[in-house]
Amino acid sequence: MSRSLPPSVRRQMIAFDPAALDAPSVSEFRRSLGVNRPSFYKIRDRHHSEGNAALNPRSRAPEQPARVFTDDTTKVVLGIRRRLKGKGWDAGPKSIWHAGVDEAEFPGSIPSVSTIARIPAGAAGNTGVVDANPRKRPRSSFIRFQRAAAMAMWQLDAFEYKLTDSERTKVTVYQLVDDSTGFDVGTAVFPSPENGQDAIATVGAAIDAYGVLQELLSDYADLGIMPMSV
């Protein structure tokens, strides 16, 4: 907040003497100016150490601004890049930096790797200089492996499971899941080993409960039933 206060308000804050006769309290004075406590004391402390410089906000310019290099440096960077790409080598900023340093090609000061990365993008008429990064594909362009709507396909799987009774009885669990929603439309358990009759019974019970589906996907080789479309 202190950086946006006008000089006139800053001057009042600096000149304020809470010990003066009939002076308002610090809180009342701050409220009259619309200034919070940290900003009030920050500007007064800054005036104590920096004098009238506190009447203006500090510069927001970076302490170490980005270095600007001459056209000669730009030409060297682009030339090294073309040479490396022509030889089939990596032409990234680090590779350009190492090549320029090893061959002493940079005129004057040696640019940093980050500066070299900016030079091709900022080169005049940079068409063909920098490879354009393709934009991410929209999510709508991806083809889903799942069916687009519920009841379009059910998937039937079966596996063997041992109960926790003393005899460790084996049962067969049939899972019937809607491919689009992942909803379990018919999990059933049978005491017999995996077979087509129990699989058909599982599907039939689900159809009775939820209606007729469009397509059924199952491992018919193991179940002994043919894939079906209804």
SS3 letters across 199-214:
HHHHHHHHHHHHCCCC
Residues 48 and 80 grouped into a single domain: no
169 is a domain residue: yes
Strand positions, DSSP E, the chain = 154-162, 170-178, 188-190, 215-218, 228-229
pLDDT in tens, the chain (230 residues): 445 788 888 889 899 998 888 889 989 898 998 899 988 899 999 888 888 888 888 777 666 666 666 778 888 899 999 999 888 888 888 999 998 888 888 887 888 888 888 887 766 455 445 555 556 666 666 666 678 888 999 999 988 999 888 888 999 999 999 998 989 998 999 999 988 899 999 999 999 999 998 888 887 544 444 444 44
Q: Are residues 78 and 35 in the same domain?
A: no
Identify the domain containing residue 49 by its residue range: 2-55
Residue 64 lies in a domain: no
Q: Is residue 87 part of a domain?
A: yes
Check residue 227 and give its pLDDT.
46
pTM of the model: 0.36
Number of domains present in the structure of the chain: 3
Distance of alpha carbon 51 from alpha carbon 56, whole angstroms: 11
